[in-house]
Amino acid sequence: MRIGIVNDLQIAVETLRRAIALEPGLEVAWVASNGEEAVAQCARDRPDVVLMDLIMPVMDGVEATRRIMAESPCAIVVVTVDVARHTARVFDAMGHGALDAVDTPVVGGGDLRTAAAPLLRKIRNIGWLIGRYGSRPNLTPVPKAAPRADAQRLLVIGASAGGPATLAQLLRDVPLDFPAGIVLVQHVDASFAAGMADWLNDQVLLPVRLVREGERPLPGQVLLAGTDDHLHLLADGTLRYTPDPKESLYRPSIDVFFHSVAQHWRGTAVGVLLTGMGQDGARGLKAMRERGCLTIAQDQATSAVYGMPKAAAALQAAVEIKPLDQIAPRVIQALA
């Protein structure tokens, strides 16, 4: 895999070069010292992955991400000093299509391999997504349960690259008196899931917070999966985190959660799959459709990255395919 490095600090560039050299099959394609150079480099020589700093002269990482995804799209990971301090910028970049974010490895007197492990793990995962590391095993299908209707209502939403801004736009149109519980699964590192919940909370009407182990989704709140374990809905209607299936590339996995909803939710449910790279959520959305749920996939024109919704469309997992601005009105109509 060929890696582009975008960073104006020479010490950070050298640390990233050394980290990349630790992983067989990775090489540095080029280095850019600001966002403007990165946009030009991607147009000339598109790499497999771009490691994008946020704070740079001339053009910052958020604008560079927007330009690259519009002109020469490729996988982008935000790599910056102290991701937690730059939550708003991180989610702006993810809204434009960045896949993930991680702190720049800091070695000091420590071991580079240990310091670089989170970054290299994210690059490997992206390699699986774009087919550079072969194929991953499929998840074992979750058995379907017979539908059981009662008054409970639930909206479940999955998103990945481009998700934060997309989720904010969708949820802004959901009123305070929305009669269903809402649960979100976004591909986001556990280290800044709380930051994403806080950021969304400032963007939308309904309160947003992380899922607490053992609680039930209820109207009047939005719950966000908040760990690197998978979120599961159990037969008693409570939400739990589980490390299984361990072989899943995506953590938390949208497929795992959607399958559990299809199997265990006893009332009316709507599943929505939004922008994102790869195929996570497509099979789970199909399981929900087969259980009789309304399922919606975002259309290509409004998706920052048309991967997961495209996979759902190919599987005929979505009852309806809609532009982003039509999803909330349709969901409100279905669950009112």
On whether residue 147 sits in a domain, the answer given is no
Tell the residue number behind the tokens 């434009």, with chain if given: 96
Task: Indicate if 55 and 189 belong to the same structural domain.
Answer: no
**DSSP structural state of residue 267:** S
Looking at residue 32, its pLDDT comes to 98
Q: Which residue, among 107, 116, 128, 99, has the nearest Cα to 23 in the 3D structure? A: 116
Task: Indicate if 57 and 101 belong to the same structural domain.
Answer: yes
User: What's the whole-model pTM score?
Assistant: 0.80
Task: Indicate if 198 and 112 belong to the same structural domain.
Answer: no
- Cβ atoms of 264 and 233 within 8 Å: the answer is yes
Q: Which residue, among 173, 211, 207, 213, has the nearest Cα to 193 in the 3D structure? A: 211
Residue 101 belongs to domain spanning: 2-129
On whether residue 137 sits in a domain, the answer given is no
Looking at residue 108, its pLDDT comes to 66
Among the candidates 97, 129, 161, a domain finishes at 129
Looking at residue 74, its pLDDT comes to 92
How many domains does one find in the chain?
Answer: 2
Q: Tell me which residues are annotated as active site.
A: 160, 187, 280
In the chain (336 residues long), the average pLDDT of successive 10-residue segments reads 96 95 95 98 96 96 95 93 84 86 80 90 82 47 39 91 90 95 92 86 93 95 94 96 86 95 96 94 98 97 92 97 97 94
Looking at residue 333, its pLDDT comes to 96
CATH number at residue 46: 3.40.50.2300
Looking at residue 228, its pLDDT comes to 86
Return all residues near 208 (Cβ < 8 A) that are at least 6 apart. 171, 197, 198, 200, 201, 221, 222, 223, 224
* C-beta atoms surrounding 200 within 10 Å: 23
On whether residue 136 sits in a domain, the answer given is no
On whether residue 48 sits in a domain, the answer given is yes
